[in-house]
Amino acid sequence: GRGINRFLAPLPILHRFCLVNDAVFQKTVHFKPLSVSVVVPARNEAGNIQGILKKIPPMGVKTEVIFVEGHSRDQTVAAIKQEIKNYRGPLRLSFYRQKGKGKADAVRLGFTKAKNELLMVLDADLSVAPAELPKFYQAIANGRGELIMGSRLVYPLEKGAMRFLNVLGNKFFSWVFSYLLGQPIKDTLCGTKVLRRRDYQKIAEIPIRYRERAYGQTNISRFRHGWLLLKMTLLAAKKIKFVNLQA
């Protein structure tokens, strides 16, 4: 009946016995050079900014780097301005200070200011090396996905790169979102992501080597942000899996 379809059919394992399955097919995409915008949200990252531009490789037909600073208490603003002043190279550079709060707000501001076809997010803590970015570029340019996400849980983690509770939280939410979206996702919370300007439906992951930050402290609150993610997960489950079905 409707109750079984609504509450039991979406559950793990049981959904494999359902009689209706969906599949999405896409045309093969041939490689086309693309322009790239790299958004670098930075809060209290003064010690990581120096030399960052030398580590970001040019990609595609042209690459711009957009720094977005978020109410830092250290010398992050001065470090960004000095880095831009000293840089001599092919990257186009810009710098903005967010009025809102949080990384999501910083990324949205960066995306609004971006001028190129591909939008990349690179955390200023450099726990993901900028040298990894061409892998993301190749993946999306070759049509592997419409949202390319880093996966930190494939290669061994550097000692101190991720706290034990964070590892458990990442594995839990990866399992939950894999179930909700119907495709395997190893790491939902990696900060390095790439997408086109247009809407996306397909998700792909790129294994990355996750490193311990060299400067400062993490801006992630395990319990506050974990609770926020749990609420988002419950909302997604209600809207994606446990929907009202017509008889």
Which pLDDT does position 87 carry in this prediction?
95
Q: Is the pLDDT of residue 165 over 50?
A: yes
Q: Is the pTM of this model over 0.85?
A: no
How many C-alpha atoms does 113 have within 13 Å on its Cβ side?
A: 22
User: Which helix or strand (DSSP H or E) is residue 131 part of?
Assistant: none
CA distance 17 to 167: 32
pLDDT category of residue 246 using cuts at 50, 70 and 90: very low
Instruction: Count the neighbouring beta carbons within 10 Å of the beta carbon of residue 147.
Output: 16
Residue whose structure tokens are 């379809």 = 5
Q: Is the pLDDT of residue 185 over 70?
A: yes
CA distance 66 to 103: 14
Under a CB-based contact definition with an 8 Å cutoff, are residues 197 and 142 in contact? no
Share of the chain above pLDDT 90, in %: 39
Instruction: Count the neighbouring beta carbons within 10 Å of the beta carbon of residue 26.
Output: 10
Residue 244 — left, alpha, or beta (φ > 0 → left; ψ -120 to 50 → alpha)? beta
CATH class for the region spanning 34-240? alpha beta
For residue 162, what are the contacts with CB-CB under 8 A and spacing of at least 6?
A: 152, 170, 210
For residue 232, what are the contacts with CB-CB under 8 A and spacing of at least 6?
A: none
Q: Is the pLDDT of residue 201 over 50?
A: no
Q: Is the pLDDT of residue 157 over 70?
A: yes
pLDDT category of residue 173 using cuts at 50, 70 and 90: confident
Strand pairing report for 118-121 and 193-196: antiparallel
Which pLDDT does position 166 carry in this prediction?
74
End-to-end CA separation in angstroms for the chain: 8
pLDDT category of residue 232 using cuts at 50, 70 and 90: low
In this structure, what token pair is assigned to residue 26? 């896409």
Residue 39 buriedness (CB in 10 A; 0-12 / 13-18 / 19+): buried
Rounded (5°) CA angle 95-65-68:
35
In this structure, what token pair is assigned to residue 93? 């550079």
Q: Is the pLDDT of residue 48 over 70?
A: yes
Instruction: Count the neighbouring beta carbons within 10 Å of the beta carbon of residue 30.
Output: 8
Which pLDDT does position 164 carry in this prediction?
80
Q: Is the pLDDT of residue 114 over 70?
A: yes
Q: What is the mean pLDDT of residues 193-206?
A: 66
Q: At what angle do helices 164-181 and 222-240 cross, to 10 degrees?
A: 10
Most confident of the following: 120-129, 138-147, 150-159: 120-129
> Could you give the residue ranges of the DSSP H alpha helices within the chain?
2-3, 46-49, 52-55, 76-86, 103-113, 133-141, 164-181, 222-240
